[in-house]
């Protein structure tokens, strides 16, 4: 069902990379799930439109290419978005990066975490996925990692909680 998470080790030293540790990507099942959710309906809509137009309006059948093109584009875009999701555990903080067009990179110090939450919906469970959400005292912190395998989510949660306790700081 799930393949091993891809890891891209980057050398430390540049400003872009964490000084230590390595980036970890998210599970490929996330890509499969999103492709099913986005491309599936588009392909079906294209097929339905093609059938209806073929029966009624002849040459207009080409319009059915629109949803299919969209599906093809989404296929690639979702892959790029999936590859953009990555996180790195450093000695004192967690880095989360995602987004292709709108890039977001969030740094949350372990000592600031107030709550670590692991959620998994029915579809996510079907694909063996879980989502990890970090809460700090600032409500504006949007730190979430999607597409973790449940064991990895649990490991991360336990590690973050443990690190949070040892590095805990007040407000």
Instruction: Using CB under 8 A, list all residues that contact another protein.
Output: 15-16, 18-19, 92-93, 101-109, 111-112, 136-143, 169-171
In the complex with another protein, which residue's Cβ is closer, 109 or 150? 109
Q: How far is the CB of 34 from another protein (least distance, A)?
A: 21
In angstroms, rounded to a whole number, what is the distance separating the alpha carbons of residues 170 and 145?
Answer: 25
In the complex with another protein, which residue's Cβ is closer, 51 or 162? 162
Torsion sign (Cα): 96, 89, 144, 165: negative
In the complex with another protein, which residue's Cβ is closer, 33 or 143? 143
Q: How far is the CB of 145 from another protein (least distance, A)?
A: 14
Burial of 123 (0-12, 13-18, 19+ CB in 10 A): exposed
């Amino acid at each position: 069902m799930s393949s091993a998470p891809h890891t891209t080790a980057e050398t430390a030293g540049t400003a872009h990379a964490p000084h230590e540790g390595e980036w970890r990507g998210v599970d490929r099942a996330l890509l499969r799930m999103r492709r099913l959710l986005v491309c599936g309906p588009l392909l079906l809509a294209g097929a339905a439109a093609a059938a209806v137009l073929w029966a009624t309006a002849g040459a207009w059948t080409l319009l059915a290419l629109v949803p299919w093109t969209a599906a093809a584009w989404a296929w690639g875009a979702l892959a790029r978005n999936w590859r953009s999701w990555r996180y790195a555990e450093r000695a004192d903080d967690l880095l989360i990066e995602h987004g292709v067009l709108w890039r977001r990179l969030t740094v949350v110090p372990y000592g600031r975490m107030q709550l670590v939450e692991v959620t998994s919906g029915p579809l996510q469970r079907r694909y063996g996925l879980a989502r990890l959400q970090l809460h700090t005292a600032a409500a504006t912190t949007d730190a979430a990692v999607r597409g973790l395998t449940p064991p990895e989510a649990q490991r991360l949660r336990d590690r973050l909680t443990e690190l949070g306790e040892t590095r805990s700081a007040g407000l």
